[in-house]
Structure 1
Amino acid sequence: MINILSRTKVFGGEHIRFSHESQVNNCTMTAAVFLPPQIRESQAPLLIWLSGLTCNDENFMTKAGAFRAAAELGLAIVAPDTSPRGEHVPDDPEGAYDFGLGAGFYLNATQAPWDENYQMYDYIVSELPDVLDEHFPVDTDNMSISGHSMGGHGALTIALKNPSRFQSVSAFAPICAPMDCAWGEKAFSNYLGDNEEDWAKYDTCALIEAGAPELPTLIDQGLADSFLEEQLLLDELEAVCEDTGYNAIIRKHPGYDHSYFFISTFIEDHIRFHWDHLRQA
């Protein structure tokens, strides 16, 4: 059962915002889906988009400018929220932006009180596709995944751990080595505890180093991004890819920052990158 919150026509397709009761997160979750005009004839392949810290389902859908290319190609897009929500859902005790509400980090929390609600990994990998499969004409057997910042971390780690579920993966300014940055250390220590072996299960660099299967991978990074050196650590991912022979396309763009101005500039490249792999499936 879903609750339709809004329906809006765009580029011949439709943007639908909806909510549903999540069994894994024990709360009401909100998401948005773009359905291209081609769904009148057949199911559409699906791109899952994961947003970053402080965001929800609306940021990508309103700012990225992805609908024109997606409508042309026949690609559906779903943008879920970035964390569980609700009065009963615990938040950062100090109200900080980088943990708790809006900062689920796309993992399954194991530590109280977070483990009651913060099961975003299971939500993205299993529950959300099941909801989409039941209520929308999208092909959840033919999916790719992408994201930004914390969502780029989520997209990369989820794809690396589930290579049979996704045809390709991409990211804008991802948190590449969360075990080594302040954002990741705070989230992992609270959600997962002190055992760094548990942290490594949600770290892109650690997963590739451990031999994760290679997927078609595209990463874009702005060189004027204020988070690049201390939080995103792209250099660590580049080193791991070189050491292991993991063939990722990594593009660097002088002058671009961490914002949706950057994402909107290159989103069509990502849409077409994923389409090339989805249409071959």
Structure 2
Amino acid sequence: MSALKVEAEIYNFGGRLLKLSHESLVNNCSMGVNLYLPKQYYEGKTKIPVLFYLAGLTCTPANGSEKAFFQPYADKYGFAVVFPDTSPRGVKIEGDDETWSFGTGAGFYVDAVQEKWKKNYNMYSYILKELPTLLKTKYTQLDFDNKSITGHSMGGYGAIMFFLRNPNEFKSCSAFAPILNPSKTNWGIKCFGGYLGESESDKKLWEKYDPAEIISSNSYKGPVVPILIHQGVNDPFYKVKGDYDYLTPNEFLEKIKGSNYEKDVTLKFVDGFDHSYFFISSFSGEHAAHHAKYLGLLD
């Protein structure tokens, strides 16, 4: 296992933001990750819970750590925040930098099976296994057995997908403007097709990464913990080009009817808000409180 290197240590609110790098064995490249250690970490508290924040298309570990403003709430409740990258970088695969919605910055949190991509694009295994193992080895005060997950857009899809595919792995889940039925929308079709394949048999694998398909098929068998979602009504990717929708929140609500999660998804449409980090930072406090409850940090 490769060692974590501290590239920068920044005093931030009551704790510190660490900019880290390491050599990834699953992605076969150097990866960056930001980690916020709350004030409780420096007060000597042990067993500090962890919140993973998954970012959206084009983003790096910097976006969430600089603009989502989870850090003051991490201090308030006493959890650490992990901000992973969204893809491998610098792997020099032909075509990985041709567009913002596929390749670099767009790993889509899957393990690629197509020959061209499978050596480097394994973000599912990276987020679920490699990164937590690496972090808990160095930062032993953090409790990776008590963790939750959230994310934005592609990262919101990723958060819900990880939560549903891995019962009991995460205590709670939330999302900001997530891509809720990716196998039916342009972004998901492009990335699933590229990384996983485009044949009808390949599309069976798409369903295993699609939150709407996982819930509607009742294949999730874990504890039903409420999922919190916020969606801005003025989001440019919600109901664009006539009726086309990149995010499909309304279709998602229809698909989960009759499932074991029908009554446990809280999807809040908020007037005036868009897809930006102004939107995320406006509701990060509510999401932090949601996770604090299930991480056992509220009385």
Instruction: State the TM-score, normalized to the length of structure 1.
Output: 0.96
C-alpha change, 1:38 and 1:280, in structure 2 (3 Å) is: closer
> 1:92 deviation in Å?
3.4
> 1:94 deviation in Å?
6.5
> 1:216 deviation in Å?
2.5
Q: Structure 1 CA distance, aligned partners of 2:104 and 2:147?
A: 27
Q: Structure 2 CA distance, aligned partners of 1:5 and 1:59?
A: 17
Aligned position for 1:109: 112
- The sequence identity of aligned pairs, in percent, is 41
Selected match of 1:235 from 226, 232, 250: 250
1:255 counterpart = 2:255: no
Query: Does structure 2 retain, via aligned residues, the 8 Å contact 1:91–1:99?
Result: no
C-alpha change, 1:93 and 1:20, in structure 2 (3 Å) is: closer
Query: Does structure 1 retain, via aligned residues, the 8 Å contact 2:238–2:246?
Result: yes
3-state SS, counterpart of residue 42 of structure 1: coil
The worse-fitting range, judged by mean Cα deviation, of 206-215 and 252-261 is 206-215
Aligned position for 1:71: 75
The worse-fitting range, judged by mean Cα deviation, of 234-243 and 73-82 is 234-243
3-state SS, counterpart of residue 219 of structure 1: strand
> 1:170 deviation in Å?
0.3
1:32 counterpart = 2:34: yes
Count of aligned residue pairs for this structure pair: 280
Q: Structure 1 CA distance, aligned partners of 2:80 and 2:129?
A: 18
Partner deviation per Cα, 1:45-67 (whole Å, 9 max, x = no partner): 00000000000100000011111
> 1:91 deviation in Å?
5.8
The worse-fitting range, judged by mean Cα deviation, of 168-177 and 245-254 is 245-254
Selected match of 1:100 from 99, 103, 109: 103
Selected match of 2:183 from 176, 179, 183: 179
Aligned position for 1:216: 226
Partner deviation per Cα, 1:8-61 (whole Å, 9 max, x = no partner): 112221100100111111111100000111122213100000000000100000
The worse-fitting range, judged by mean Cα deviation, of 156-165 and 244-253 is 244-253
Q: Structure 1 CA distance, aligned partners of 2:92 and 2:80?
A: 30
Which residue type is aligned with residue 12 of structure 2?
V
Q: Structure 1 CA distance, aligned partners of 2:259 and 2:159?
A: 20
Query: Does structure 2 retain, via aligned residues, the 8 Å contact 1:156–1:169?
Result: yes
Query: Does structure 1 retain, via aligned residues, the 8 Å contact 2:88–2:121?
Result: yes
Aligned position for 1:196: 203
Query: Does structure 2 retain, via aligned residues, the 8 Å contact 1:241–1:248?
Result: no
Instruction: State the TM-score, normalized to the length of structure 2.
Output: 0.91
3-state SS, counterpart of residue 187 of structure 2: helix
Query: Does structure 2 retain, via aligned residues, the 8 Å contact 1:89–1:117?
Result: no
RMSD: 1.4
Which residue type is aligned with residue 45 of structure 2?
E
Partner deviation per Cα, 1:153-174 (whole Å, 9 max, x = no partner): 1000011011211000000000
3-state SS, counterpart of residue 263 of structure 1: helix
Higher fraction of helix: 1
Q: Structure 2 CA distance, aligned partners of 1:10 and 1:105?
A: 29
